Structure 1
Amino acid sequence: MAAADAGPDADDGRAAHPARAFVDLGAIAHNVQVLRAAAPTAAVMAVVKADGYGHGLLPTARAALAGGATWLGVAQLAEALTLRAGLAAQPGAPRPRILTWLYAPGAPLHLALEADLDLSASAPWAVAEIDRAARATGRTARVHLKVDTGMGRGGARPEALADLLAAAGAAAAAGTVEVVGVWSHLACADEVDNPATAAQVAAFGEALARVEAAGLHPQVRHLAASAGTLFHPGTHFDLVRPGIAVYGLTPAPDVADAAALGLRPAMRLEARLALTKPAPAGTPLSYGHTARTTTDTHLGVVPLGYADGVPRAASGAGPLQVAGRRYHVAGRVCMDQVVVDLGPESAAVRAGDTAVLFGDGAAGEPTAEDWARVCGTISYEIVTRLGARVPREYRGAGPDDGRAEQP
């Protein structure tokens, strides 16, 4: 909800919160332009699932569309319905195609058809449920058949594809379904020399031939996510589905960092110090006393913790910047706060001063990739786990420019 619509109580709550995630919508639009240039023969589906990878569903979707995306993708049906309704509420906004793909039997697929969404189907039961929803609503469903080309997750395996095609063909003949797409997902595209990608491309080609032989003629074939878009031109086909790269983070840090790819990280996470105080050498810090000060020093309390998405795995390691200097989390990450040992020379640092957990790195601050590295994870997790109680403030191009939003 944007600040202009939130009411005074919500505004007061945001102002009272000592932390904030700043999201650069201009960076998101720029990143989509970079991805379009990387796949010039394909349309771009910006994947905005998981609340826009933690950046905010609607603002990031609008920014991605401003950058030239013509499709949007989300995993969950509820996300897709929220996205369609939110975009429709803006007069004159573009009406992109929206694909949603993750649902279980019994999902209210009639709502998807009424909202003009594209649906994925990996098995005959899914086609049957889409068929029933189409008959109930009187609408023809747009369906993307998903095939498993080697990911071992969603999609029909080769030996099950005949049954999926038979179900889809029957529904298409009945006029309840139009097979508009065929898709799959790459497992190892971030490992640029891994032969699994070539094997998956070959398997995808075989699946496409079987779809055509069954008399189904999809409009779009799509296989590539961020890594495929950036590193494997042979995976582009008609549509690419970048996710993490839309937000300015590299899908393969061992191959190329964001700057080398021309991407601009869109999120900056800051918090105002809630307390500073002197502490003598040997002072134990945080739960379990896993850290102690080694000299007479000053401590700072940063009001962000694992309830806000700061990984507990960052205990003793998570990087921060205060007053232009790099520090790290001292001791264990707590639910609502972390401690930082500011050193003996930092007596001038005061409560209310800013601690930067991550940003784009241009001013020497840590990045989401730095946090991922010390936590033994990926940058995707760092940004998507950011908690709902941390307000997002939007800057740059887009209809939410300069306004805060509480997810």
Structure 2
Amino acid sequence: MNYPEPQLPQSPPPAERTAVIDLAAIRHNVRHLSHVVSPARVMAVVKADAYGHGAVQTAQAALEAGAAWLGVAHISEALELRAAGITAPVLAWLHTQDTAFAEAIRANVDVGVSGWDLDAVVTAARELEMPARVHLKIDTGLGRNGCPEDLWEAFVGRALSYQEEGLLRVVGIFSHFAVADEPHRPETDEQLQKFRVAVAVAEDAGVDREVRHIANTPGALSRPDAHFDLVRIGLGMYGLSPFAGQTPAELGLQPAMTLKTTISACKEVPAGQGVSYGFTYRTSEPTTLALVPLGYADGVPRVATGGPVQVDGQVYPVVGRIAMDQMVVDLGRTGLAGTPQTLVGREAVLFGGAGYPGVDEWASAAGSINYEIITRISGRVARTYVDSAAEAEAGVDSPPIALEAAGDAGQPTETAQAVQAL
């Protein structure tokens, strides 16, 4: 009997649109920021799928580089990390009445609490007959979640009474800065003072906490007096600057994400040619237009007309309105070598690290911030993971892995001074 020849597995086709994540950059940034905040430890914040970089892969890289904790917004995000085999301490702090507190306790996930959620966590702990690990949050001025100052002493007392019953352990005390990305604003000093008072009240009441934390990436870089025991690193881990007017390179950071695709169509057009919906742009002279297959369904802001796209080492602007699936770039009359036909397939990079347009340029075009630009890149864009450090050490170009996404005292310092002092 004849059997068909076995089919050998074939390599997946290259992604048409990809966000390339350099895990070496993640590790570099974590090591660098760990040095900045030492002897405080680093909590690597991997909420929102690690700001679009991939939560599991980013968490693993951050832990390899010395991060001591992981931080997420939702317990479901923490459970994803546990399901991937990650056993490091994880804190989740944003809940609803439908949050799976019991699952968090069972998975040894720390829970941030600041009000009604304390009783909900205790109810789950009582049913499980297993104590929860909680961090008490004080609102020092941001006005989101966090216990109000006038209720803090009573809130701490309730937590300690539950601790005496064996239903929880108070692991940490924390808060969140509002304007640390603007280092000269006095509100950060005010928040720090309120935080110190809240910590003192809790300790006087008998809280034997493991960690105090309030600083985010801008606080880590500009406020050494806010480092305490733990610093929550988000944006900086991804290699981006939290400060207007300062580049990642000036802060010793390396952007980890490069967003790229290829030109899908190209043609010569006359002067007066309308471009995209609404004809908000018309060509002023004969020119060459290139179609780039990324749009707002992929997470590129619709309003970011003028955003930069690099082709063959030259940067060109997006013209006309960005559509759901595509955008148009005006290549001009004298830019790239080749005919419209031969330009199809050329690589088009929206943003990346050194040598590419920056995320901040797209944020400026969109009237937004760099946090939003990277976080909103949708699941339709494949995430491809590379390790530039390992490749450089080996001296080879290894194939990327492509995945379809489903101290308590001191004065504030200049950010640049904090970095130069390293």
TM-score by length of 1: 0.92
**Secondary structure of the equivalent of 2:56?**
helix
Asked if structure 2 preserves the Cα contact closer than 8 Å seen for 1:312 and 1:334, the reply is yes
Please tell me the root mean square deviation across aligned C-alpha atoms, in Å. Answer: 1.8
State the Cα distance separating 1:393 from its structure 2 match. 0.5
Q: Deviations over 1:157-181 (max 9, x none)?
A: 1112133112201110101110010
How far is the alpha carbon of 1:347 from its aligned partner? 5.8
Q: What is the letter of the counterpart of residue 242 of structure 2?
A: P
Q: Identify the match of residue 324 of structure 2 among 332, 335, 345.
A: 335
The secondary structure found in structure 2 opposite 1:119 is strand
CA deviation map 1:304-362 (0-9, x unaligned): 000001101112x11111111111111000000001111122361511111110011x2
Q: Structure 1: which amino acid aligns with 2:194? A: A
Conserved 8 A contact 1:298-1:347: no
CA distance in 1, matches of 2:315, 2:377: 21
Work out whether 1:199 is the aligned partner of 2:197.
Answer: no
Q: 1:59 matched to which residue of 2? A: 57
Is contact 1:394-1:401 (8 Å) kept? no
Letter of the structure 2 residue corresponding to residue 323 of structure 1? D
Deviation at 1:373, TM superposition (A): 1.5
Return the alpha-carbon distance in structure 1 between the equivalents of residues 208 and 184 of structure 2. 32
Aligned twin of 1:324: 313
Tell me if 1:209 matches 2:200: yes
Q: Which runs of 5+ in 2 are unaligned?
A: 1-8, 391-397, 406-422
Q: Following superposition of structure 1 onto structure 2, how do residues 249-268 of structure 1 map, counting pairs within 5 Å?
A: 249-254=240-245, 256-268=246-258
* CA-to-aligned-CA distance 1:9-65 (integer Å, 9 cap, x gap): 9x75xx364211110000000000111111011011000001010111111111111
Structure 2 residue corresponding to 1:127, chosen from 115, 118, 123: 118
Partner amino acid, structure 2, of 1:83: L
- Distance in 2 (CA, whole Å) between partners of 1:296 and 1:107 is 58
CA distance in 2, matches of 1:336, 1:163: 53
Instruction: Name the counterpart of 1:384.
Output: 375
Question: Deviation of residue 401 (structure 1)?
Answer: 8.1
Show CA shifts across 1:257-316 (max 9, x none): 11011000000011111101111111110000010111111110000000001101112x
Give 2:345's aligned amino acid.
Answer: G
Q: Retained in 1: the 8 A contact 2:299–2:378?
A: yes
- The residue matched to 1:38 in structure 2 has which SS? helix
Contact 1:320 1:329 in 2 (8 A): yes
Counterpart of 1:47 in structure 2 is 45
- Report Cα offsets for 1:207-259 as digits up to 9, x if no partner: 011111222121100010100111100000000001000000011133x2110
Moved over 4 A (4+): none
Query: Match of 2:404?
Result: 406
Check whether the contact 1:282–1:292 (CA below 8 A) recurs between aligned residues.
yes
**How far, CA to CA, are the matches of 2:15 and 2:325 in structure 1?**
12
Match among 85, 95, 120 for residue 83 of structure 2: 85
Q: How does 1:148-163 map to 2 (within 5 A)?
A: 148-163=139-154
Given that residues 322 and 355 in structure 1 are in contact (C-alpha distance below 8 angstroms), is that contact kept between their aligned partners in structure 2?
Answer: yes
C-alpha distance in structure 2 between counterparts of 1:351 and 1:87, whole Å: 43
Aligned with 1:81: secondary structure?
Answer: helix
Match of 1:38 in 2: 36
Over the matched positions of the two proteins, sequence identity in percent amounts to 45
Determine the structure 2 residue equivalent to 1:26.
24
1:91 match? none
Match of 1:271 in 2: 261
Letter of the aligned partner of 2:75 in structure 1?
Answer: L
Q: Secondary structure at the match of 1:205?
A: helix
2:3 match: none
SS at match of 1:102: coil
State whether structure 2 residue 180 is matched by structure 1 residue 177.
no
Larger Rg: 2
Q: Where does structure 1 lack aligned partners over 5 or more consecutive residues?
A: 1-7, 89-94
